[in-house]
Chain A
Amino acid sequence: DTGVSQDPRHKITKRGQNVTFRCDPISEHNRLYWYRQTLGQGPEFLTYFQNEAQLEKSRLLSDRFSAERPKGSFSTLEIQRTEQGDSAMYLCASSRGQSSYEQYFGPGTRLTVT
């Protein structure tokens, strides 16, 4: 049984650089979510896909952030011109599009901007 996977697990980058993260959801799940978690806080919603359609974006997602899910399978989250305030754990979750909508999370990508 393969759960949600994320790559890379850790990323250290210098301020101003662009970074891209990948999420592979559970195969039969058509819903995919991105969340961001900073130290001592609960995860905060960033954006949501149903199949390949991006249906909602949080105001936390500034214009430096872009997310895609081109074929309704894996998703990428890109941050352009990174800032130190972008340092956080980026979590991906997926769920079926019916019944309980239980969300299953990946291991996260830890981003450190120096």
Chain B
Amino acid sequence: DAGVIQSPRHEVTEMGQEVTLRCKPISGHNSLFWYRQTMMRGLELLIYFNNNVPIDDSGMPEDRFSAKMPNASFSTLKIQPSEPRDSAVYFCASSFGRSETQYFGPGTRLLVL
């Protein structure tokens, strides 16, 4: 199994630009999570999906952030417009059913100039 796949691995953009992060969960997993990690705030859950449906997005910072999961094998996290304070590592994770084990992807390192 390839594990959770995230792309791009690194992204550098300018303030005001749109950024789209992508995630492919492990095949068969039905829960997907987006996390953000910064030095100041550590690891924070942004949003999670169950069976492609967003269940809790209370961690999404503001309206500039949006996430979609059009099917069981793909999710996106979009930031529009991006700001320097959005610079962080964004992780996607997936899990199966009632399993408590979340499998994390390698992360996308985002730098907004």
Q: Are A and B bound to each other?
A: no
Residues of A within 8 A of B (CB): none
Residues of B within 8 A of A (CB): none
